[in-house]
Amino acid sequence: MSKHIDITGESFEKEVLQSSVPVLLDFWAPWCGPCRIIGPVVEQLAEEYSDRLKVGKICVDDEADLATRHGVSSIPTLVVYKDGKIVNQSAGALPKPSIEALFKDLI
Catalytic residue set: 32, 35
Classify residue 8 by burial, with Cβ atoms within 10 Å: 0-12, 13-18, 19+: middle
**Which residue type occupies 94?**
L
Write the CA distances from 84 to 12, 14, 22, 25, 58, integer angstroms: 10, 10, 9, 12, 17
By the 8 A CB rule, do 55 and 40 touch? Answer: no
